[in-house]
Amino acid sequence: MILEHRAYTMQAGNLERFYETQVERGFDVISPVLDRLIGYFSTVTGPLEQVVHLYAFDSLEDWRDRLHGLYGIPELEPYFKKVRPIMLAQENHVLLPSPIPKLTPHFTLDQYWQRIDGPLTGSEDMRDLLFEEQIISLAPGMLQKYWDLMAETGVKALTPLETNQMGSFFMMVGPLHQIYHYWFFDGFDDRTRRHNAVRMNPEWVAFQESIRSIVVKQESKLMRPAPVDEMVPIFRQA
């Protein structure tokens, strides 16, 4: 299993238009890729007018066959002509699941969440849901040490986030030595409460002390699920 991370940055004022083009195009025509979709998310913090979308594929071959097959479909050409001019930038990375099972409750190399499994939450109202992407950039060669230290002290302290965890991953293709953690919350208050519970845990303090010398950068991005149900199957029943 591989996770594809895509980030599309729109020209100012075109975020809603981007979602409109998805509905106008329809979803049946892109079913090969839609079957592997985790979700589309719009940034609340971080880069403005950005949409992050995540997909889980069996392999790089599965990714290539499903994605590249779309470019030969004539019915998609009008969509490409509409959506490309409103974008400023597109980028993608390929990630692998963490080797620590407790950090990957829904995604492993051999088995992973799919649309047919249904949403991770039982709530029908996703308007307040927050999706957090935390990126940890490490010094060269420090990836395994990070996982070792996480297994030793970090995992214990993350108990308040267990029920909110989508998964943790590391970079396969893209900037090296990066960790991606994903969580979801009922809202800002829920996120603040759970993160504060983690920070107050002595195990977490010890973990932060242990990784300080190997961490180059830490950043966090908060996002909202796309306003179109078909585009967020991990949180909405499409």
Q: Which tens digit of pLDDT belongs to each residue from 219-229?
A: 999 999 999 98
pLDDT digits (tens, 9 = 90+) for 120-161: 876 656 778 999 999 999 999 999 999 999 999 999 999 999
Could you tell me the two tokens for 103? 């950090």
Quote the pTM value: 0.95
Q: Report the mean per-residue pLDDT for the chain.
A: 94
Burial string for 34-45 (b: 16+ CB within 10 Å, else e) reads: bebbbbbbbbee
Q: How confident is the model at residue 88 (pLDDT cuts 50, 70, 90)?
A: very high
The percent of residues in the chain predicted with pLDDT above 90, rounded, is 91
Q: What is the pLDDT of residue 69?
A: 86
Phi, psi angles (nearest 5°) of residue 89: -160, 150
Check pLDDT > 80 for residue 237.
Answer: no
Contact 30, 84 (CB under 8 A): no
215 by Cβ neighbours in 10 Å (0-12 / 13-18 / 19+) ranks as middle
pLDDT digits (tens, 9 = 90+) for 103-120: 999 999 999 999 899 898
Query: What are 52's strand-pairing partners?
Result: 7, 41
Q: How far apart are CA 170 and CA 163, in angstroms?
A: 21
Q: What is the pLDDT of residue 216?
A: 98
pLDDT digits (tens, 9 = 90+) for 167-189: 999 999 999 999 999 999 999 99
Q: How far apart are CA 229 and CA 219, in angstroms?
A: 28
